[in-house]
Amino acid sequence: METTTEFTSFELSPILIDSLQKSGFQKASAIQEMTITPILEGKDILALAETGSGKTGAFAIPIIEQILRDKENEGDYPIRYVVMSPTRELAQQTYKVFNQFGKELGIHTACVIGGESMDRQKDVIGKGVQVLVATPGRLKDLINQKIVKLDQCKGVVFDEA
């Protein structure tokens, strides 16, 4: 359900608003309207919404904004946020949303899932990512191998948990 709240009403960077508008998004969905500001304020959120309601944008938009605001490690790309997805398909969809809104803004995102080349995923992580979208098993494997380090992680999303 679309609301009348435009993305310009939120405290979002002009470059992020521009990215959203270029992707065809002018107004927040109901779930986005309820979650963007509290997430930007650092609050924990538990939200439920129907398929197609904009849930992924509800957490992706404020996460991208937080990364844009965080200048303390400019040029360095430690993992700042982890999005845990229960399935490969959902992880891939979430990854696409982060790239759609954030890639042109310099947001580095990786998707690590089982059934894909772990060596390739290690290479991508080694180059630096700010958002890691992962299925639980692959994330556990990469943490155990000390490829993924979460010492600078600022937030975790449990998507469809």
Mind listing the pLDDT tens digit for each residue in 80-128? 999 999 999 999 999 999 999 999 999 999 999 999 999 999 999 999 9
pLDDT at 153 over 70: yes
Range of the domain at 30: 2-158
CA distance 138 to 23: 30
Residue 75 binned pLDDT confidence (cut-offs 50, 70, 90): low
Site of tokens 């494997």: 141
Domain with 131 in it: what CATH number?
Answer: 3.40.50.300
Please report, for the chain, how many H helices and E strands are present, in that order.
Answer: 6, 6
Contact 3/33 with Cβ under 8 angstroms?
yes
pLDDT, residue 72, reads: 55
Residue 33 to residues 27, 43, 61, 76, 128: CA-CA distances in angstroms? 9, 15, 11, 31, 31
pLDDT, residue 51, reads: 83
The sign of the dihedral angle between the CA atoms of 19, 69, 108, 112 is negative
Mind listing the pLDDT tens digit for each residue in 55-72? 999 999 999 999 999 865
Domain count, the chain: 1
